[in-house]
Structure 1
């Protein structure tokens, strides 16, 4: 028996519509911000720096995510320019958000004389959690799904009925690739949160690089299952290529930095705390 899809609109007041997509993403950002500020205190970083970074990074992340998507779907948006800003309908690319946010982090840290590696380490696990939560915005919008499958197969995965019914899209059941990526990110979040305080395990920058490798590894395989991927050319997915570049690049940087004896340990925190916390 089929049921209607879940309503993507959370609240409607007259002409004002608040979409679940935005509510879910905002919830992920707020939770990530709280966890990051708590860790910042432990690492002798003024929590105001984390809040300031979020205020600066969030709008640029949204712009970057949208621009990334629009560039690779320019065939459509060149014909429908009025849809370029319609972000509430979906159509953002997480890699665009991450690239834009990383640039903001680096610039801010240079201006404030903070170690960008330390700040990225503090933020990385919580960003992964925010990504996991944000994927449920795709669920509400019925996007980021995979190939056609059967209801019987989805039941074999022991998924709840309400999730299965939401995966009935365009007259077919679809693989819940949003769920696979969300679960992968939750696992990565739990692992990094569990091991990052072990003495002698991580030098500054290595938690962030671990996040990059973990996320890009999982994203490569999930992207291969999706049917709404952005393509450079036929059968050549943008995100899979970027995943390979990021994984290899992060691994090379990890080993290069580990060989340098003067790199501070993550648990040493902000070595300029006396200056930056004034």
Structure 2
């Protein structure tokens, strides 16, 4: 597989911060993926993003000794070290040696542990679900940010995602939601994700839920019509996104919020739609590019094939 310093046109509009964050996202997903071909594709994309970050760094108005300058060098060095270790693990020692030389140029060292490798080896993992109820004993509510993604259903040992990833993006709402009765109207996409996320996570042995939530789950798990209604809503949100000609940042943020609860076919359909939007745009659509990255980050890694990347 060829690696080099050529920056693809679709990355050329990214700032240093955006390019470095995108590279880290590719690397994190590569560490979580066992498919050899997909790992190499992700490594290639990560290296391309780092090349753009290097190019963008020349536009910074910082000087050696500045905190921002040092943080930039540390971030670049660490990303190159992580890329080196991934390539070594895949048996591409020659390319890995070239990559580690780049890490050294940014201030890294041959014995640098890297960020991702040390995280995976140290057991720094997460996967908890928090539940809350109001002080008056009213209906239990659950926030969407606490819903495990579909890959957590298969394996609870999920590496903690660095909080710097897409720190500038619009984050999903953190408002808590009332769990709806069967056939009751839902108020938002995050509320829909909350409901389906609970249904997906209910079988996990180490999840302790509020009694009110357990009662709701028991009611819905025995109501196949309601489960079908919720799944149909997911499909309709994706279809509505495909029909919408505007596709601004708010709309993209809403649809990729569905990532943890999408089935494989709908996930792939949405991924193709986001890619098509970038491919047919005269200028790079950064919102759709970030949407792809968030969809990959939030969805099940097992949904991705080498051809997707």
* TM-score range for the pair, normalised by the shorter chain length: under 0.3
Bigger CA radius of gyration: 2
TM-score, with structure 2 as normaliser? 0.22
Q: Which has the higher strand share?
A: 1
TM-score, with structure 1 as normaliser? 0.23
Higher relative contact order (CA 8 A, sep 6+): 1
